[in-house]
Amino acid sequence: MASVAGGLLFLFLHIFAAHANNYIASSSSPPKFFNVLSYGAIPDGQTDNSQAFSKAWNEACKWNNRNGQNVVLVPSGTFMVNSVLFMGPCRSRMVFMLRGVIKAPSNPSLFFTDTWIGFRYINGLVVKGGGTIDGQGNFAWPYNDCFTNRQCKTLPVSMRFDFITNGRVRNLRSINSKNGHFTLYSCNNLNITKIRLTAPEESPNTDGIKIGMSTNIKISHSIIGTGDDCIAMLSGSENIDISSVLCGPGHGISIGSLGNNVAKEFVRGVKLRNCTFVSTQNGLRIKTRPSSFPSFVSDVIFSGITMANVNNPLIIDQQYCPQGNCFYQEERNAGVMINDVTFMNIWGTSRSEVAINLQCSEDIPCQNVKLVNINLAYSSTSAKQMVSKCVNVKGVSYGRIQPSGCL
């Protein structure tokens, strides 16, 4: 008896000690700061600080701070940066704390870099601080001729997150990106909150957040108003949770486009809640191309959505082919399958007549689509009657659906 109790006591003390150790280590190991000013950065809004930023990062990245964090600090002031890539893996958890403003070049000879600000191969990254990144896109947008020139050079996205795991991004502002604001590629467990992304409505390709090949991504309490999609979920996006996002102006929140004729593609597990769209071109959109590879979109729930003066509030386009250069499948059962999609509790106003527009193909009809409690009206007085269109859609509707007629 005594020895069992003793053993248990020992075990308990052991576990307790381990916990206490962890607790003390994580709370008492102070963060170590790497201020970019100490690495030669000059906040005059003109000097290129790429080198100073890289140096600060590299020092911080190799500093072993046990359970503590290493903080790369960009204090207040305006820091011009031509291009910088923050690489991991790092020895301790990394924080990039932006208090000031990082400004992109306005000189066209410096535009066409792959990355403006990039984070790559980092586990446990935190980006925060309430600062702003200014892409100075107004100088670059005239160089975006990708609508007419197939060989166009692409402008850099403002902030790239590639291969980031267990990360958090919060309290950050991005304005006037040259291309998209943020892209996420091959990330897992990344939470983005309280960010604000802005660019003028007419600025080309200024997507808010583009997600590809990434899992367990959370975006919440953010405001995104740009010239392209507020959020775009591309192939490989899985378990994406978006809530309390205000979108507008812009092209709405989209899944796709999917189906590019070179590989199987998918988007699976998208939850969008409590979001508002103001004067956007689209609201909730799924766009897939007529593809030759079997691909799919599944498990999507849009709920608690307010539309204010949105052109296409609910739209599925399974034959999306804006340039008319799509490869049409020869075999049946090819293409992008869309199933298990729920549109629930959606209200507000539409600018166009077809407020619900779900267009699927005859070969692969959309499956298990649910419409639940939808109430959309014209945003201005119109003599026309608002309609809904569902083509090749299999599913059900519950509650009041306005405009009715679908499913």
Instruction: Tell me the catalytic residues.
Output: 251
Token pair belonging to 189: 């467990």
166 makes contact with ligand NAG (CB under 6 A): yes
- Based on the shown chain and the rule CB under 6 A, indicate whether residue 276 belongs to the binding site for ligand NAG: yes
Is there binding between residue 191 and ligand NAG (CB under 6 A)? yes
User: Is position 193 an interface residue for ligand NAG (rule: CB under 6 A)?
Assistant: no
Is the separation of the CB atoms in 146 and 115 below 8 Å?
A: no
Cβ proximity of 317 and 288 under 8 Å = yes
Return the H-helix or E-strand segment holding 21. Answer: helix 2-28
Closer Cβ to ligand NAG, 58 or 216, answer by number: 216
Counting contacts by CB under 6 A, is residue 246 touching ligand NAG?
yes
Query: Cβ closer to ligand NAG: 51 or 191?
Result: 191
Stretch that binds ligand NAG, among 72-80, 139-147, 165-173, 249-257 (CB under 6 A): 165-173
Rounded CA-CA distance 273/244 in Å is: 7
- Helix (H/G/I), strand (E/B), else coil: 168: strand
Q: Retrieve residue 205's tokens.
A: 């390709």
Residue 216 Cβ vs ligand NAG, minimum distance, rounded to whole Å? 7
Residue 47 engages ligand NAG in binding (rule: CB under 6 A): no
Binding residue for ligand NAG, selected from 78, 132, 274, 303, defined by CB under 6 A = 274
Amino acid at 224: I
Q: Does 55 bind ligand NAG (CB under 6 A)?
A: no
Nearer to ligand NAG, 32 or 168 (CB): 168
154 belongs to the binding site for ligand NAG (CB under 6 A): no
3-state class (DSSP) for residue 355 = strand
Q: Which is nearer to ligand NAG, 274 or 303 (CB)?
A: 274
Shortest approach of ligand NAG to residue 99 CB, angstroms? 21
Q: Residue 218 interacts with ligand NAG (CB under 6 A)?
A: yes
What is the DSSP code string of 202-264?
TSTT--SEEEES-EEEEEEEEEEE-SS-SEEE-TTEEEEEEEEEEE-SSS-EEEEEE--SSS-
Can residue 168 be called a binding residue for ligand NAG (CB under 6 A)?
yes
Work out how close the CB of 245 gets to ligand NAG at its nearest, in angstroms, rounded to a whole number.
Answer: 7
Amino acid at residue number 52:
A
| Residue numbers at the binding site for ligand NAG (CB under 6 A) | 166-168, 189, 191, 218, 244, 246, 274, 276
